Amino acid sequence: MPKLKSKSGAKKRFGVTARGKVRSNFAKKRHNLRKRSQKMKRNARGKQVMAAADSRAVKSYLPYA
């Protein structure tokens, strides 16, 4: 069988941990940041582990991750 292609957009946005969980960036950090509280911006730094229900869809885009 031929190799499966990964979605190139998903490759740039998501990563997979060693245990197979999907990591993603936090949402709502691109613009209109003056409206957001400092606490929200501080807590949304770095990456987060996605919920299992959401990560199932992302894993279909990354067949070899």
pLDDT at 23: 97
Establish if 9 belongs to a structural domain. Answer: no
H helix or E strand, kind and range, residue 24: strand 22-25
pLDDT tens-digit series, residues 24-58:
999 999 999 999 999 999 999 999 999 999 999 99
> What is the domain extent for residue 43?
26-65
Establish if 19 belongs to a structural domain. Answer: no
Establish if 15 belongs to a structural domain. Answer: no
Q: 45: Cβ–Cβ under 8 A, 6 or more apart, which residues?
A: 26
User: pTM for the whole thing?
Assistant: 0.81
Q: How many domains does one find in the chain? A: 1
> Where does the pLDDT of residue 65 fall: very low under 50, low under 70, confident under 90, or very high at 90 and above?
confident
Q: Are 6 and 58 in contact (CB under 8 A)?
A: no
Q: Rounded to whole angstroms, how far apart are CA atoms 12 and 7?
A: 9
Establish if 4 belongs to a structural domain. Answer: no
Establish if 13 belongs to a structural domain. Answer: no
